[in-house]
Amino acid sequence: METGKESYNLIIAGVGGQGNVLASQLIGQVFIRKGYFVTIGETYGASQRGGAVMSHIRISKRKQLSPLIPKGKADVFMALEPVEAIRVLIPYGSPDVVALVNTRPLYPVDVTAGEATYPEIEEIKGCLENLSRKVYFIDATEKAVQMGLPILGNMIMIGALIELGLLPFNYEDFCDILSTNFDKKELALNIQAIGEGRKAAQRLASGS
């Protein structure tokens, strides 16, 4: 592992329809190509129906790991929705975890109906900072909407993750995998989204 660790546990969390499954498969394919054992455990069924979804992506040099990360053993989180970040950090987070969080909320219907409360973004941020070593926030959905396709939020997030050094592979590795999964037009759009994510991460890193 390029991070020097023997294994790497990544969780991608979000809401059904945000592109969790695709993101986890693409990341998994990069590691397969590099000769690692990859195990991905993910939520199906709820995936299009507004439910909370998560993918556990587990990489090992040594053996096939189980499809579920043990409690407190995630290394990195990528959350496509802010309260979903908290939902998964509660069981799988630790003082060592690093998280990248999309700040755009998707309100559960019970919240809209006034039967449940969605926390204020400042409260969410405080809570996430309390549950992690470091947490980065970007408005990936906003950028994706500017690009005309909200679903690209997942690619923007991956771009940022790569730029922040939170995925133990480089930009070119990921582009190689993208090119085997998408046709020319989709590829260009996805690479553009990755680029947006990298730029956003550079701004985060420089503190501007």
Partner 1 sequence: MSDISLDEPGEELLLMGNEAIARGALEAGVKVCAAYPGTPSSEIIASLSEVARDLDIYVEWSVNEKVAFEVAASAAFSGLRAICAMKQNGLNVASDFLLNLNLIGVQGGLVLVTCDDPGCHSSTNEEDSRAFAKIADLPLLEPANFHEAKEMAKWAFTISEEIRNVCMIRGVTRISHARGNVTLGELPKKEVRPYFDKSKQRITFPVAQKHNLLHENLIRIERIFETCPFNRYDGPERPELLIITCGSSWLYTQEAVELTGVESLVGILKIGTTWPLPTQTIVEHLAKADRILIVEEVDPFLEGSVKEIAADFSGQIGPKEFFGKRSQHIPSFGEMNTDRIIQALSGILDVTYEPRDARYEASAKMAEKIVPVRVLGFCPGCPHRASYWSINSALQLDDRQGFITGDIGCYHLARTSAGWNLLKTSGAMGTGTGLASGFGKLERYGFSQPPIAVCGDSTFFHAAMPALVNAIYSKSNLIMVILDNSATAMTGFQPHPGVGKNAMGEEVTPVDIEKVCRAFGAKVEVTDPFDLETTRLKLLQMLDDPEGVKVLIMRRKCALLRQKEEKPPYRVYVDTERCIGEDCGCNRLCTRCFKCPGLIWDKESSKAKIDEVICVGCGVCSDICPENAIVREETR
**Residues at the contact surface with partner 1, assessed by CB under 8 A:** 15, 17, 25, 28-29, 32, 37-46, 48-52, 63-68, 70-73, 83-84, 86-87, 89-91, 93-95, 104, 106-119, 123-124, 127, 130-131, 141, 145, 150, 181
At residue 21, what are phi and psi to the nearest 5 degrees?
Answer: -65, -45
Q: Residue 208 CB, nearest distance to partner 1 (Å)? A: 26
Q: Residue 128 CB, nearest distance to partner 1 (Å)? A: 9
Q: How far apart are CA 30 and CA 27, in angstroms?
A: 5
For partner 1, which is the closer residue by CB, 27 or 163? 27
Q: What is the largest CA-CA distance in the chain?
A: 50
For partner 1, which is the closer residue by CB, 18 or 194? 18
Q: Residue 25 CB, nearest distance to partner 1 (Å)? A: 6
For partner 1, which is the closer residue by CB, 95 or 207? 95
For partner 1, which is the closer residue by CB, 28 or 159? 28
For partner 1, which is the closer residue by CB, 110 or 186? 110
SS3 41: strand
How far CA 66 is from CA of 22, 30, 57, 63, in Å, comes to 20, 19, 10, 10
Q: How far apart are CA 121 and CA 124, in angstroms?
A: 5
Q: Residue 30 CB, nearest distance to partner 1 (Å)? A: 10
Q: Residue 90 CB, nearest distance to partner 1 (Å)? A: 5
Q: Residue 67 CB, nearest distance to partner 1 (Å)? A: 4
For partner 1, which is the closer residue by CB, 94 or 192? 94
Q: How far apart are CA 74 and CA 85, in angstroms?
A: 12
**Which residue type is seen at 83?**
V
